[in-house]
Structures are given as structure tokens and as C-alpha cells.
Amino acid sequence: MNKLFVLIFTFLILVITNASSAVITKENASVLIKKINEEMSLCKHYSADIEYLIFKSHTDSLALEKSNGYYKRSGTNEHSMLIGIETIQNETERLVVDVNAQSMVLSKPSFKAQFLEQSMQGALALCKTLSLTKNEQSSVLEFILDRNSGIGFSKLYITYNNETHFIENITMHYTATLIPGYEEVKSPKISISYSNISTSRIGNSEFRIDHYIQTKNNTYILDTAFKDYNLFNQLSTGKN
């Protein structure tokens, strides 16, 4: 019995020493958010696998829906796929493909140098309480928001790697959000995880759109494999 007590006590001590939680000021949280964004923006190349989970309630551990995707970036070029939406951006074009709606939107590229910083700083301004839990390899920044803030969620968790500051997970506790197909879900939890993160070089071929659209006589034409899709051309060149 004494040996068992010692083992349990030792385990508890290890848990306590390897994870510490403390209140963090908005000023320090703002500096941390800038650091996370800065480390991300300094990467010439970045890629990650994404797992998107929807839960019925804030306490549920069994997901109602799961979707896997990816995000790849080289400079301002981007290529992502998640929940049936594929986005490809290069230096001259941005194509958004909605598989479910069988539609494509072609437009000028959109350069988002601030990544998630603007959204996170916005949530920070509406925070009622902040805390930072530090573990051995990663840390969790927790935002508790005023339910009357109108932002749509009550809690936001940002998990980031202690060494790289790359985000590993974003979890949001929504207050009253209807999800298409799940009308009975009033206050869902959404979790977005990033894994297999890499900063290895990504070739320019990753960001070409000619798999979907061909250019002929200064006009954009859908590839025959996607002839049933609707193309909405918002570029000044060509017609849909």
C-alpha cells in the first residue's frame, strides 16, 4: 500500500511540475499573439495536415463530423483543402472550388500578411479572463469571452508549440451557431488541429490552376472534367 501511495504521489508531482497554469495579462497575451504570427510569417514555405471536428456540445468527446484537409504556402502562394472547399492562389490568380456546390470563383489574389493575428487580437479585446497553461512541448492560451460580446463563442483555446510557436490546435466553444445539417446543435464545439507541419520547400507547380481552368485566346475555360461546374470570373481578363 505504501509503495502504491508513493507511485501515485510521484505521478501527481510529475504532472504538476510539467504543466503550469497562470493568469496572463492582455498586454502579455498580445505580445504572444504577435510572436505566433511573426514566426509564421517568417517562414518562406509552410505546410500542414488539418483535421476539422464538430462536436454537439462543449463537453462532448465524440465528434458529429470529421473532415481532413491540408494547407500549403510558399510566400504569398497558397493551396488549401477543407470541408469540400479547395483554394489555390498564385501571383496572378485565386481560385476557390466548391465541390458540393459545383462552382468555382476566379479572382485576383488576396494577400493576408497578418494570418490569424487580426482575429486573435480582436478576440483578445473582448476577453473577460485569460490564462496560459505551459506544458513541456506546447502551451495553451485560453480566452474566456463575455457572452454578450456578440462574437459568437464563449471560449477560445490556442495550442502552440513552445519551440516554433506554430499553432497546433484551435478550439472554439460557440454560443448559438446553427450548423447546416445539424439544426439541433445550438452550442457546438469546433476543433481544428494542425499536424505534420513542415517548412520544406514547395514547388510552384503546387499553385497552378490549369488542372481546373485552361486559358485560350485570353479567355478562361473550364477543363472538360469540370464542364458541369459554374465558373464565376471576377478577373478583368476573359469571360466565364
pLDDT for res 226 = 95
Q: Tens of pLDDT along 11-37?
A: 333 343 345 668 788 899 889 989 998
Q: Within a 10 A sphere around the Cβ of 94, how many other Cβ atoms?
A: 20
What is the pLDDT at residue 19? 53
Does residue 234 contact residue 107 with C-beta atoms inside 8 Å? yes
- Please say whether the beta carbons of 72 and 82 come within 8 A: no
C-alpha to C-alpha distance for 120 and 141, rounded to whole angstroms: 11
Model confidence at 1, in pLDDT bands (50, 70, 90)? very low
- Cα–Cα distance, 110 to 93 (Å, whole number): 9
Per-residue pLDDT reduced to its tens digit, 177-206: 777 777 788 889 999 999 999 999 999 999
Give the pLDDT mean for 226-234.
Answer: 94
How long a stretch of residues is the chain?
A: 240
